[in-house]
Structure 1
Amino acid sequence: MYRSWKSVSFAASLAFGMVVSLSGLRAQDVPPGYEPMAPGEAYHTKFSGTTDVTAADGSVTTVIDSAGTVGEIVDVRAPGHAPDGSHWIEPLKRAPVSAAEVGQVFGIALDEAANVYLAATSAFGLHLEPGGSGWMTGMWGEGGGPGTVYRLDAANGYEPSAFAEIALDGRANSGAALGNIAFDPAHGQFFVSDLETGMIHRIALEDGRDLDHFDHGLDGRVGFLDATTGARLALPPIAFDPLRTATIDACPSGDFAHSPECWNFADFRRRVWGVGVRHDEAGAVRLYYATWANEGFGNPDYAVASEDERTNAVWSVALSADGGFDLTDVRREFLLPDFHIDAETIAERGFSSPVSDIAFPRCGAQDVMVVAERGGIRNLGLDVEAPFAVASEARALLYQLGETGVWAPIGRYDVGYYDRSAEGQPFLRANCAGGVDFAPGYDPATWTSDLGEPDDFVWISGDYLCSPEAPCRLPGVDEGDDSQVHGLQGMPQEAFDEIAPEAAYGEYPAPGPAYPPTGPYQSYLVDSDVLTDATGTLIAEEFTRNDATRIGDVEIYQVCEAPAPPPAGVIPTPVPRPVHTRTMTHRRHGSPVHTRAMTHHRQGSPVHTRAMTHRREGSQPPHTRTETHRRQGSAPPHTRVETHRRQGSAPPHTKEQTHRRQGSAPPHSKVLSHQREGSVQPHTKAQSHLRSGSQPPHAKALSHQREGSVQVHTRAQTHMRTGSDGPKIRPQQTPPVLQQQPVVPQLQVR
């Protein structure tokens, strides 16, 4: 049956008024908003939402909203303003797909033709029909189940269809569902992780055939290179038991939906979630995958397992020329640095949250990697807040490949403004929702996507980007914007902070925050929900509803073009590399003068190796886990500001290279250089609408669109229009100057 297009939004219709002809279809068959993705657009997944059903006896039950959107294209190409840490209210969202069509989905992959692939998930809980044992309507797509991968056809208006069924030798997934999915353009294939079996399946692009699978429990653990130490190691094999299934009707708690231990997640020693594919400059291809080891789900072996066995890690396996798995070349790349610091929390939730997504730059050298954590999987119920994961303890970590082939953690992206002030140490902005990808940068002249700057930005899915507990920035207003914003955060690739700022592990200051929100101040913040109705009026409840843990993955469509060859007979002359280039100094930990050996307090230092110093069994006191991990002790002047942005830096430390740099000494910050007072038309949408201090009944979210508003503040007369009846409100002050960056504490990883 051909798809119904009734869900096309009014905004999409306006933005895509001209319908183009697509392969095999008449122009009128594809409505506005369903054209193929353009480079720079994002695809985003989320929970579909809920609805209430009233029974004949008057009782009300909350169920999955099958008509709710679970995935859509988000056009982040044209914000029209600098990333200033404020809520970007109206990016276009288009081509939605519903729970009725594909069920609940998390993982996303995009192929080179802009087709979208979505993986069935339990990340938003497993739900049964009220009073029954069957799956709730909207849990899985039509004709699909826990192991289904769906394809949305770009040439057919993103019509969804079942693409692949992930099964192990004919055994279907019984409930835990799939982890994530990654595309391998070099071999025309996908990799899909299965949270029930622990397998990674290799799926053909052309027809969804299951070509092969990789068994981490048997093929990865039994012989591998530990990249951090250089040692060849082996761990006992852990096999999958095909006789175990999700115990829907026999869960010991009697409440299957709210008991993840009954969902049949793979053994913690073989469970895989995040996957990503890396191609090096020599043409070698590796599959990177993340093991989820911090939760035992009732497995009695968890309590007696070693620390390494209970620590989340990133591994890799080489791919052969035909795209198959090379079982002779398996590496444990690194263990994730701990997040939790107190023994009680570690005993309850492990050392850190699992990595659900792995991203490499799409174009150019893939010498950096971002891993996105998510706060596990749970189900507290459809009608409660933060039901599906533990919020505010998941990071987005940046790694760089060193000259020795070892990945070193070099930074962490602050996600959202909330810094765990209520939960306690560490006071980090750790609100990652588990999705991350690289994206083109923006042209500062127009603030539209600059496809000539691929991978210049990073987009991360997150909770609590703005909230009453931690309002996001509203330029010119001290109180900020306390709307509930959960969705996507886009920021320059270089806008990362220290993995463990010193202040995050001290006493929380009054009034806070513990350290400056440098990264969020340089970000675009986009809510996952559609915030306006068909008339363009703001929907009040969308600004107050808490959607934390209902946010999914994000992928950005990028097209890489090969550089044009030089004219015939012309031999290109190499350009001398200056000391302070954008690449070498201000966006990389790779400066030729700031080496690991010379800085010697950085992660990956050759003297501070895992084997020699940190948290090893038998280490001499005081190098215990408690005494050493994340301790202060880096002696001045090895701070981020003093080491990587030293005064007296040699040319070409030009204005262009200095302005908008994270951590640059005042006043050279992005927010101060590019948004000075006196900018044209300060009466912006962000400054006029959602203002704090507005008199009742002018709520922040609706103050300038209220019927009966004083001075007839209609949308046409107020929203960024000249000729407004009243005087335009100008900023009250310049943004605060960030006087200094956090001190770099000594962080150790195993």
Structure 2
Amino acid sequence: PGTIWKIDGITGAVSKFADIDTNSGPGIGNLSFDPIHRQFFASDLDTGLIHRIDANGMLIDTFDHGVAGRPAHGLDPVADDGAVMDIQGAAFDSEDPDTWGYTQDERRVWAVAYHGGRVYYTVGEKAEVWSVGIARDGRFAGDPRWELTVKADKDYAVTGIAFDNKGFMYLAQRGPVENRYDYSRFADSGKGEVIRYWRENPDDPATESVWVEVPQEYAIGFPQGNRQSAGGVDLQYGYDAEGNLDTSVCTDTLVNTGDKLRDNPALAEQLAAGGPFAVHGVQFTPTPLVKPANLPPFGSWFVDFDSYFEDPEVEGHVGDVRVWRPCEGRAGYYEEIPGGYLPPFYPPDFPPPGNLPPCLDVEDVQYFCTPSGLEADLYLHDHAGFGGDSIKALSKTPGVGVTSPMSHAPGTPYTIGITGHYPGDTVDVGLCFYRQSDRDKGGYYPCCKMTLPLRTPAVSCEP
């Protein structure tokens, strides 16, 4: 139960990735990948710990919300009670989750999601969302922060978190855990919500959270109430008016898991043209279609998880969902070379200046408050093989100052300083990506130029 498995993306071969030996049976709540530090986070339902795991499956360290997180919000620390799952014990009941060795609800971490330099996680059945920072070296930063208490009709665990690139945070509930003797139901579905929050702008000092008080909700499934969430949520590319995938729009489609998604006798005639009614799997919905729009969800698409549509009584077999979407980075271009000649790194059939492909992508940006103010770590991808190893940065936003790094170590991000801006503003930064060896020769040197719009955090970094 404490083993994490992996599937080869090419061959489909399944192999062991990591063992969490302290998990006696309750299992893992959720997984998240940190692409910056190439590491994973896993929530342990037995102990309540968040495990940090390297790319080779080795456990590095843990974060204990019950002990280290709760006091940051004025709550008493709660240590793990040591309960374990003992299937041979007299108290064990295979149909009673209270005998399965879960840690206490106050410290039970369900969903985890790495976003913007922090790990966001949910706690308990009266769900709260918290976060803890990840330092530049990948370690837990030790700065836990309460984000919000979820407002929903039912006090169900939030087992899925996702973020889009517009600032919305998406949460998916999952009904109470069950285990029927015939394995037909693993959760009590039919009342779980999928909702989204966004940050107050400007922040309302009269509210405790920096997030809005009342979330928006999506219509999930056709049964009465439209709350068929099974607890999984992610984002997908957008789609155009003809239903074609639009890879230029990275996070415009909500993807969530659910049960009995197309089952509603009152709408049977309308639903019949769309296929079977007994669909347990995923629902695709354009993100703008929050209630009362798309109610009932005829503007959504549905996919069954096993393509077997003769199991209407099954519930809770579907859990989380993850979408592979290698979103295109922001692109830079080679500048036009004075004199009209092609530099030696152009292959013979390379298009001439004026019709050049992107030479640089920005894969990610991470912000940090430092004693000198705001700094941004830029993770650049030299996919054209230009071979640059240095950058010059300048501000293209009046009144804002940008400083370039004095040096750069291979394999590390490029760090720039930003001053004179208002928190939350978008600052246009001009970058020149070049080879130091070319610059050292003197005179003109080739440079990949781009303008990068940086949306700064809505937090003041006092120098």
Same fold (TM > 0.5): yes
Pairwise CA distance, 1:416: 0.2
- Contact 1:436–1:459 under 8 Å retained in 2: yes
- Contact 1:166–1:173 under 8 Å retained in 2: yes
| Aligned: 1:182 with 2:32 | yes
Pairwise CA distance, 1:470: 5.2
Whole-angstrom distance in 1 between the partners of 2:259 and 2:302: 11
- Contact 1:417–1:472 under 8 Å retained in 2: no
Matches within 5 A, 1:497-512: 497=291
Give the alignment's TM-score, normalised by structure 2.
0.67
Pairwise CA distance, 1:439: 0.2
Whole-angstrom distance in 2 between the partners of 1:564 and 1:472: 48
Alignment counterpart, residue 263 of structure 2, candidates 467, 487, 493? 467
Partner of 1:315: 130
Alignment counterpart, residue 325 of structure 1, candidates 124, 137, 140? 140
Whole-angstrom distance in 2 between the partners of 1:519 and 1:565: 43
- Contact 1:460–1:490 under 8 Å retained in 2: yes
Matches within 5 A, 1:401-420: 401-403=199-201, 404=203, 406-408=210-212, 409-419=214-224
Pairwise CA distance, 1:443: 2.6
| Aligned: 1:153 with 2:3 | no
| Aligned: 1:240 with 2:80 | yes
Partner of 1:435: 232
Pairwise CA distance, 1:525: 1.3
- Contact 2:261–2:277 under 8 Å retained in 1: no
Whole-angstrom distance in 1 between the partners of 2:311 and 2:87: 35
Amino acid in structure 1 at the alignment position of 2:106 = R
Amino acid in structure 2 at the alignment position of 1:266 = T
* Residue identity (%): 33
Amino acid in structure 2 at the alignment position of 1:489 = Q
Whole-angstrom distance in 1 between the partners of 2:115 and 2:123: 17
Q: Deviations over 1:708-747 (max 9, x none)?
A: xxxxxxxxxxxxxxxxxxxxxxxxxxxxxxxxxxxxxxxx
Q: Deviations over 1:317-368 (max 9, x none)?
A: 11111111111x211111111414xxxxxxxxxxx1100010112xxx3511
Alignment counterpart, residue 259 of structure 1, candidates 76, 93, 96? 96
Q: Deviations over 1:584-619 (max 9, x none)?
A: xxxxxxxxxxxxxxxxxxxxxxxxxxxxxxxxxxxx
Give the alignment's TM-score, normalised by structure 1.
0.42
Amino acid in structure 2 at the alignment position of 1:290 = T
Distance 1:218-1:470 versus aligned 2 partners, 3 A rule: farther
Amino acid in structure 1 at the alignment position of 2:174 = R
Q: Deviations over 1:644-693 (max 9, x none)?
A: xxxxxxxxxxxxxxxxxxxxxxxxxxxxxxxxxxxxxxxxxxxxxxxxxx
- Contact 2:133–2:144 under 8 Å retained in 1: yes
Whole-angstrom distance in 2 between the partners of 1:197 and 1:383: 26
Partner of 2:123: 291
Matches within 5 A, 1:241-640: 241-242=81-82, 244-252=83-91, 256-279=93-116, 285-292=117-124, 294=125, 311-327=126-142, 329-340=143-154, 352-361=155-164, 365=165, 367-382=167-182, 384=184, 387-403=185-201, 404=203, 406-408=210-212, 409-419=214-224, 428-445=225-242, 447-469=243-265, 471=267, 474=270, 483-497=277-291, 517-518=294-295, 520-531=297-308, 542-543=309-310, 545-565=312-332, 568=335
**Greater per-residue strand proportion:** 2
Distance 1:398-1:322 versus aligned 2 partners, 3 A rule: same
| Aligned: 1:222 with 2:71 | yes
Amino acid in structure 2 at the alignment position of 1:438 = L
- Contact 2:248–2:328 under 8 Å retained in 1: no
Pairwise CA distance, 1:497: 1.1
Any unmatched runs of 5+ in structure 2? 204-208, 338-463
Whole-angstrom distance in 2 between the partners of 1:487 and 1:320: 36
Any unmatched runs of 5+ in structure 1? 1-145, 224-232, 280-284, 295-310, 341-351, 420-427, 499-515, 532-541, 571-750
Pairwise CA distance, 1:433: 0.4
Distance 1:218-1:429 versus aligned 2 partners, 3 A rule: same
**Greater per-residue helix proportion:** 1
SS in structure 1 at match of 2:68: helix
Distance 1:551-1:569 versus aligned 2 partners, 3 A rule: same
Amino acid in structure 2 at the alignment position of 1:373 = Q
Amino acid in structure 2 at the alignment position of 1:249 = Q
Whole-angstrom distance in 1 between the partners of 2:36 and 2:166: 14
Pairwise CA distance, 1:160: 0.8
SS in structure 2 at match of 1:269: helix
Distance 1:569-1:313 versus aligned 2 partners, 3 A rule: same
Partner of 1:211: 60
Q: Deviations over 1:22-63 (max 9, x none)?
A: xxxxxxxxxxxxxxxxxxxxxxxxxxxxxxxxxxxxxxxxxx
Task: List structure 1 segments (4+ residues) > 3 angstroms apart after TM superposition.
Answer: 468-477
Pairwise CA distance, 1:482: 6.8
Pairwise CA distance, 1:554: 1.0
Amino acid in structure 2 at the alignment position of 1:388 = F
Whole-angstrom distance in 1 between the partners of 2:288 and 2:41: 29
Whole-angstrom distance in 2 between the partners of 1:400 and 1:552: 25
Partner of 2:406: none
Matches within 5 A, 1:699-718: none
- Contact 1:417–1:429 under 8 Å retained in 2: yes
Pairwise CA distance, 1:184: 0.7
Distance 1:430-1:469 versus aligned 2 partners, 3 A rule: same
Partner of 2:361: none
Whole-angstrom distance in 2 between the partners of 1:443 and 1:473: 28
- Contact 1:178–1:195 under 8 Å retained in 2: yes
Distance 1:248-1:438 versus aligned 2 partners, 3 A rule: same
Distance 1:248-1:377 versus aligned 2 partners, 3 A rule: same
Amino acid in structure 1 at the alignment position of 2:121 = Y
Distance 1:550-1:239 versus aligned 2 partners, 3 A rule: same
Pairwise CA distance, 1:457: 0.5
- Contact 1:247–1:256 under 8 Å retained in 2: no
Whole-angstrom distance in 1 between the partners of 2:86 and 2:75: 29
Whole-angstrom distance in 2 between the partners of 1:442 and 1:147: 38
Partner of 2:16: 162
SS in structure 1 at match of 2:148: strand
SS in structure 2 at match of 1:556: coil
- Contact 1:359–1:371 under 8 Å retained in 2: yes
Distance 1:472-1:491 versus aligned 2 partners, 3 A rule: farther
Q: Deviations over 1:379-405 (max 9, x none)?
A: 122255xx2111111111111123338
SS in structure 1 at match of 2:71: coil
SS in structure 2 at match of 1:220: helix
How big is the alpha-carbon RMSD for the aligned residues of Structure 1 and Structure 2? Answer: 2.3
Pairwise CA distance, 1:204: 0.5
RCO (CA 8 Å, sep 6+): is it higher in 1 or 2? 1
